[in-house]
Chains A and B, each alone.
Chain A
Amino acid sequence: MEKELKNLIEKWEGRRGNLIMIFHEIQNRYGYVPRDISLKLSEILDVPLARIYEVLTFYNYFNLNKPGKHTISICMGTACYLKGAGEVLKEFREILNINEGETTQDGNFSLVTVRCLGCCGIAPAVTVNGKVYGKVDKAQVADILSEYTESRDRVNEKT
């Protein structure tokens, strides 16, 4: 792990103000910033752990917990909000039985709200693993989810 971490941060070592860029490298690799990595990082860079967490927790782009296999992002930008993103979010919450910022117990889905995806023309917008769904209606939510669920029913049908 240490070697991998060193490889990741090599490019940024010794540069001024590198901490945030290093977090980006780590999150790109692991999907979040694990605590043991932060501990190692603190040793390598000789920066106190408190300082690392001070910065890490300020920015909500960085995850401290492992995200689910599929990340559902609901756009809560103004245009989406006015066109009913709240209803769509509620439906996702109810079906997945989690709140935004949480991951389902099976680790399959994370639900997050984002500020603005910048595609206000197709509001309300939702992305799943970066794939964009536009003009989402409450009724479509279950269909979207089923694309990413290894449905037991489907398995059953086959057997």
Chain B
Amino acid sequence: MSGIKAVFIADTGVKGPSRTEDFYAAFLSRVRERNLQDSVQLVRTEFSGIYDKGIFLRIWPGGVMYRDVPESRIDEIIERTIISGEVIEELRYTEKPKSLRVVLRNCGKIDPECIEEYIAAGGYGALNRILKDMSPEEVIEELKVSGLRGRGGGGFPTWMKWNFTRQAQGKEKFIICNADEGDPGAYMDRSILEGDPHSVIEGMITGGYASGAQNGYLYIRAEYPIAIERVRKAINQAYEYGLLGDDILGSGFSFHLGIRLGAGAFVCGEETALTASIEGKRGTPRPRPPYPSLRGLWDEPTIINNVETLANIPPIMERGGKWFSEIGTEKSAGTKVFALTGKVRRSGLIEVPMGTTLREIVYEIGGGLETGMELKAVQTGGPSGGVIPADHLDTPVDYEHLQDLGSIMGSGGMIVMDSSDCMIDVARFYLRFCVDESCGKCPPCRIGGYQLLMILNHIAKGSGTPEHIEKINEISNIMAKASLCGLGQTAPNPVFSTLKYFTEEYLEHINDKKCRSGKCSGLLSYRIDPDKCTRCSICFKKCPVNAVKGSREEGFTISSDECIKCGECFRVCRFDAVKVR
């Protein structure tokens, strides 16, 4: 044995600290027994990011990790690993790759404005092979094997969409890339378009070949000028290289691609509204069926795929459907890109295999909460999704599990909330968004959303009643069942899920007129503490509605009936005498 060895002992699990304490003491005494204390350094580390693996060790140099280590094996570890440098296989812990880049494989690695770099990274290689050696049916079969499902929210199997359009009859066929990413708090699609536009284009050409579509459109939000510019450049380059246009790479297959811009309507992310918008009309949805794969743009068969879905196509075609199907879980293959934001320490874009738990995402990748406060909930799926409370953090993130919890995968916004966030306020935020963005075509969404919002406003203002809870359930149900499109059907989700997991908080607002996070300003009450008040009368003078009563002789009080809770008295008081509850 040579050199100094270090053993890191990490606290894990809920009962971690005390157990670790004993283990540490035991380890130390064994080291001393062997008189190795000068060459073996024991280090107690904080939480290592790996949960529920019992006592967790990492031994340097080498960094081999052991999990679930019982005290009885300390001797063995010292003898075999520390002294002889052997690895004890049955204790060994191999880290699951927490993040895996399939979609974002090129982002940040190649110059997105340079097609040569994309080609050098293997880009368009799969397309070349497909056009030469594969029939459209074989492409669809490969996609079927991969198990790829739509990344825009619904999770519909991509191969089925392609196959429907392939089999449909039409004068012409289209493929559309839906890049109308409107969810607040989500920017996955923007990053892909800005970082690797060619992979989306390659995905679209492949889809065109497989389905028989000869024209494609990228429908991009006008709010994303850089993405639009990069895509425009990429399309021009692809034309120059003969990857777009007539007779691509001498295969006889022709495909043309154009850009259409969105104009700030969230509902245009819905596929029938999107096609209406490309047709130059108001973006209002229509009843389905017929689905766009049979009758879409200009009533012709149309594939509509989300940006991330399309960016998955080239790697699948390059490495095979089987390779892809082995990533993630059985029903949700592959990876998912999330925009991890909110109260998390490291916010940003992440890509993880499906089935990674929320805990792993928030704590291991996101580094835990930035505020040091307790995690309260994680919101997924944007305005169509729901909140997942802290006690469900070990849920694997895939389509089915999120749906069971009353949320959805959505396009990939993931917002971490701590105890300073009020759930009623969060529900109101999303609902207000949906009410603003409702196109107004169908009454359940137009009227139902508004009424729900009014109820939440009552609750937040302190005029809520227990009957309101019943009403919320009733309206939500009707909206979910009777709305024309996904926007209205899912608009009650944030309300529904907060009510389900945080009923107590709703009841507090209604019965006790109390908001534990202090977010609902309508529920605050102001009071003057007579012991601290110096009777300076500044609050009396400043109150805009004369709710401060009294005089310098008698002292001051605040009339809660007249108070509008503007907080002015609290701000002007220099003696900390105005109390807020």
Contacts and interface: CB of A to CB of B under 8 A. Distances in A.
Interface residues of B, number: 43
Contacts of B261: 20-21, 24
Contact of B223 (A18, A114, A121): A114
B266 interface: yes
A120 B339 contact: yes
A142 interface: no
Interface of A: 16-21, 23-24, 54-55, 58-62, 76-79, 81-82, 114-121, 123
Contacts of B260: 17, 20-21
Contacts of A54: 282
B277 interface: yes
Contact of B429 (A16, A18, A78): A78
Contacts of A121: 341, 347-348
B224 A24 contact: no
Contacts of A81: 184, 429
A120 B340 CA distance: 9
A120 B347 contact: yes
A61 B282 contact: no
Nearest to A118: B187
A19 B263 CA distance: 12
A76 to B, nearest CB: 7
A76 B278 CA distance: 27
23 contacts: A16-B280, A16-B298, A21-B261, A21-B280, A24-B222, A58-B283, A58-B284, A59-B263, A59-B265, A61-B262, A62-B263, A77-B185, A78-B342, A78-B382, A78-B413, A79-B185, A79-B342, A82-B415, A115-B184, A115-B223, A116-B184, A120-B341, A120-B342
Given A17-B278, A61-B223, A118-B190, A24 B185 contact: no
Contacts of A123: 341
Given A20-B277, A58-B282, A81-B429, A120 B264 contact: no
B379 interface: yes
Contacts of A116: 182-187
B14 to A, nearest CB: 28
Given A114-B223, A115-B266, A118-B224, A78 B415 contact: yes
Given A55-B280, A116-B186, A121-B348, A82 B263 contact: no
Contacts of B282: 54-55, 58
Contacts of A78: 184-185, 341-342, 379, 382, 413, 415, 429-430
A77 B298 CA distance: 33
B102 to A, nearest CB: 22
Contacts of B278: 17
A123 B347 CA distance: 10
B185 A19 contact: no
A54 B184 CA distance: 26
Interface in B306-346: 339, 341-343
Nearest to B188: A118
A77 B347 CA distance: 15
B96 interface: no
Contacts of A62: 263-264
A20 B280 contact: yes
Given A19-B280, A55-B280, A121-B347, A76 B184 contact: yes
Contact of B222 (A17, A61, A76): A61
B279 A16 contact: yes
A54 B283 CA distance: 11
A60 B223 CA distance: 11
Contact of A61 (B186, B264, B280): B264
Nearest to A60: B264
Nearest to A54: B282
B264 A59 contact: yes
A-B CB proximity, top 7 nearest:
A61-B264, A59-B263, A118-B187, A78-B185, A19-B280, A17-B280, A77-B184
Nearest to A130: B225
B417 interface: yes
B299 interface: no
A115 to B, nearest CB: 5
A146 to B, nearest CB: 23
Contacts of B433: 115
B246 interface: no
